[in-house]
Structure 1
Amino acid sequence: MAARGKRGLTAAAATVVCAVAVLAAPGMAFAAPTPPPTPSTTPGRAPATNEELEAVRKQLDTLYREAASATDAYNAAEEKAERQSAEIVALAKRIVEGKEELAELKRRAGAAAAAQYRTGGLPPEAHLMLSDNPGEFLDGSGRVRQGERATGHLLAQLTRTQQDLEQYAKDASAQWKKLEAGREAKAAAQKKIEQRIAAAEKLESQLEKEEKKRLAELEERAAYAAQTAWLGSGILDELDGTATEQGRRAVEFATEQIGKPYEWGAEGPKTYDCSGLTSQAWAAVGSAIPRTSQEQWKQLRRVGIEDMRPGDLIIYFGDASHVGMYVGDGAMVHAPRPGRAITIAGAGSMPILGVVRPLTD
């Protein structure tokens, strides 16, 4: 972050301040978007009514939310696949090392067996009777007993190594089955994402240019209504959290990405999805957090909405399928959905599930 210096911080701060000034200032609601213009006549068919466009907006919202939920499943499957692949590699390394150890143990066991064979396999009493020097025999028999104990340990070690190799093989097989199942889950999630996005794009493509403009205005009005209701609860009056140094730098990173396109499964640097943006923002300041919004909700420390401060993550919808980063003054930065760019929006413009904090201080 030091490489960007004050220039990056100033630019990011200016972006946030300008955007927040438009969205909300302390004690003020967001400025209401202008009402949709009266439909004009389009050759070939009558323009869609506001009611029809509102139905389209809701349908698009459903499709993109389903795509977002599938994206979380895709990202989670990808993370699991990476962990399982790493575990398989580690197990393969242990198997190779175990086989080498087993070969050496077998060599040593073979040498011990050969030595025993050279003694003729006679009992100690016979060796004593045949010995010209009983004293030397007794000394030698002590060494033999030591050798026998060593051979016993050697055989026990050989047995343990064989058992370890069998267990490593079983573990590797289990991890491989999990990896294959994860790949299937990932492929299914990808298919669902692509289907939902394709359906949404097809739906939007059927609209005329003027209708798309009105649809965007309806989206703005829906977000405005939600944000106004959220601010109307008096929540902004209770928010007084001051960002930590890491929180401030995480916000700086996130806001520097404003204008970059949303892309499902992306973690930068050119494109991001919602949790890709938040996880990379905190990674940039040295704090590793879960990759997906659902795992961020499950694993990070939860704080009350009234206690949130810049850098905290706001989790949206009942299935925790979307996340944004609080930047202060009732606003957040997020990667919205396919076809949209990273932007500043009202923190209450979508249903809030809760707030989590990457740091524990």
Structure 2
Amino acid sequence: MGTHRRPKPPSRARIATLGIAAGAVSLLPTQSQAAPEPSMDEVRKQVAKLYEEAEAPTEEYNGIREQQQELQDEVDSAQDRLARKQQEVNELREKAGPLAAEQYRTGGIDPTVQLFLSSDPDDYLEKAEVLGRTGDRQAAALRALQGKQRELTQDRADAAKRLEALKEARAKAQEKKDEVQAKLTKARKLLNSLTAEQRAKVAAAQEHEDAAAGTSDATASYNGPAGGRAKTAIEFAYAQLGKPYEWGSTGPNSFDCSGLVGAAWRSAGVSLPRTVKQMYDAGRKVSKADLQPGDIIYWYNDSQHNGLYIGDGKVIHAPRTGKNIEIAQLDSMPFYAASRP
């Protein structure tokens, strides 16, 4: 029978180490010692900040999506051209085929030998003349084929570049989409960390804040001084009051900020670029003192948020996720600039 070795008792140093480790564990923060949960007001402010931060990448996403559509159109056109060129090359090959075959059958024998072997020299000379013309036609057909083949090769290279650019645009759009979604998801998690009663209080506090800022999403009709196309654009915006903000949307059931402005002016027959930045760059700048109903207002900077001035110091805009299209005071956000379509 084998002998059983008794386990070696722990050394004093080992015991001391274990004791220190146990003490360290006991000093780690327990659930009751965790950092305090943010207050309802802090949650509301964090959520508002996240929604605000989501606007810039939303506008970048809109611009990339517009570029992506242009690239897709270019790719479709390039593929159509390729198909036509390929058909032309195929037809030229078919034409050149019989000519090449004829030249092969007769071109392998020296002309002097052909004349010597011919029983009828006149007949040979007549055939030689025909073959000479055939050779000329073959050479012209081959030149045409080579030219079309070069064009086809170049078009294929161009189409490949456009396809690569389209892939890059798709990847960038997805990156911006993920960035927006991450901020919105974080905001939702913050809200979901509150109880139903706390969420109701947050909503009430937001409504109180909106009322103090003079905002309203109540359905109304425009009776201001605007005329012509500006009036048409404002009336369209009024008809959207109460519809939800949705990032990347241009209607008809929801809008983001630039989506609403673009749709309003489009209803008046004026085509605007897609994004806040593009609208700012394309518009005729006007000072705050010279504002007229229908002018586009930009807050914070030239690429984040915009809305439609309706007169009397008020605007219509699509605010942010979780809110509806509303009428607000012009100075409810930091005014940056204005432009006139």
Say whether the fold is shared (TM-score over 0.5).
yes
Cross-structure match for 2:273 = 290
Q: Deviations over 1:78-112 (max 9, x none)?
A: 22222222222211111111111101111122232
Cross-structure match for 2:246 = 263
One-letter amino acid of the counterpart of residue 272, structure 2? I
Instruction: Give the superposition deviation at 1:67.
Output: 0.7
**Worse overlay, 106-115 or 93-102:** 106-115
Cross-structure match for 2:65 = 78
Q: Secondary structure of 2:263's match? A: helix
Q: Deviations over 1:206-249 (max 9, x none)?
A: 3453344234434555x47xxxxxxxxxxxxxxxxx74511211
The change in CA–CA distance for 1:123 and 1:247 in structure 2 (over 3 A counts) is farther
8 Å Cα contact 2:276/2:302 also seen in 1: no
One-letter amino acid of the counterpart of residue 253, structure 1? F
The alignment status of 1:173 with 2:164, answered yes or no, reads no
One-letter amino acid of the counterpart of residue 293, structure 1? V
8 Å Cα contact 1:57/1:219 also seen in 2: no
Cross-structure match for 1:132 = 122
8 Å Cα contact 2:89/2:149 also seen in 1: yes
Question: Which structure 2 residues correspond to residues 125-274 of structure 1 after superposition, within 5 A?
Answer: 131-132=121-122, 137=126, 141=129, 148-205=135-192, 206=194, 207-218=198-209, 221=212, 223=213, 243=226, 245-274=228-257
Instruction: Give the superposition deviation at 1:115.
Output: 3.9
Q: Deviations over 1:318-339 (max 9, x none)?
A: 2521110111222111100111
8 Å Cα contact 2:295/2:308 also seen in 1: yes
The change in CA–CA distance for 1:208 and 1:89 in structure 2 (over 3 A counts) is closer
Cross-structure match for 1:349 = 332
One-letter amino acid of the counterpart of residue 187, structure 2? A
8 Å Cα contact 2:59/2:303 also seen in 1: no
Cross-structure match for 2:94 = 107
The alignment status of 1:63 with 2:50, answered yes or no, reads yes
One-letter amino acid of the counterpart of residue 169, structure 2? G
Query: How many residues of Structure 1 are paired with residues of Structure 2 in the alignment?
Result: 290
The change in CA–CA distance for 1:110 and 1:251 in structure 2 (over 3 A counts) is same
Cross-structure match for 1:303 = 286
Alpha-carbon distance in 1 for matches of 2:333, 2:176: 24
Q: Which has the larger radius of gyration?
A: 2
- Considering Cα pairs closer than 8 Å and 6+ residues apart, tell me whether 1 or 2 has the greater RCO: 1
8 Å Cα contact 1:57/1:218 also seen in 2: no
TM-score normalised by length of structure 1: 0.69
Q: Which runs of 5+ in 2 are unaligned?
A: 1-35, 215-224
Q: Secondary structure of 1:326's match? A: strand
Q: Secondary structure of 1:332's match? A: strand
Alpha-carbon distance in 2 for matches of 1:250, 1:347: 18
The change in CA–CA distance for 1:303 and 1:147 in structure 2 (over 3 A counts) is farther
The alignment status of 1:88 with 2:88, answered yes or no, reads no
Alpha-carbon distance in 1 for matches of 2:145, 2:67: 34
8 Å Cα contact 2:296/2:340 also seen in 1: yes
Identical columns (%)? 34
One-letter amino acid of the counterpart of residue 62, structure 2? N
Alpha-carbon distance in 2 for matches of 1:133, 1:108: 27
Alpha-carbon distance in 2 for matches of 1:133, 1:289: 76
Q: Secondary structure of 2:170's match? A: helix
Instruction: Give the superposition deviation at 1:156.
Output: 2.7
The change in CA–CA distance for 1:270 and 1:137 in structure 2 (over 3 A counts) is same
Q: Deviations over 1:178-211 (max 9, x none)?
A: 2222222222212221221222333345345334
Q: Secondary structure of 2:273's match? A: coil
Alpha-carbon distance in 2 for matches of 1:298, 1:313: 12
The alignment status of 1:334 with 2:317, answered yes or no, reads yes
Alpha-carbon distance in 1 for matches of 2:37, 2:87: 78
Q: Secondary structure of 2:331's match? A: coil
Q: Which runs of 5+ in 1 are unaligned?
A: 1-44, 225-241
One-letter amino acid of the counterpart of residue 153, structure 2? E
8 Å Cα contact 1:47/1:211 also seen in 2: no
Aligned alpha-carbon RMSD (Å): 3.3
The change in CA–CA distance for 1:160 and 1:306 in structure 2 (over 3 A counts) is farther
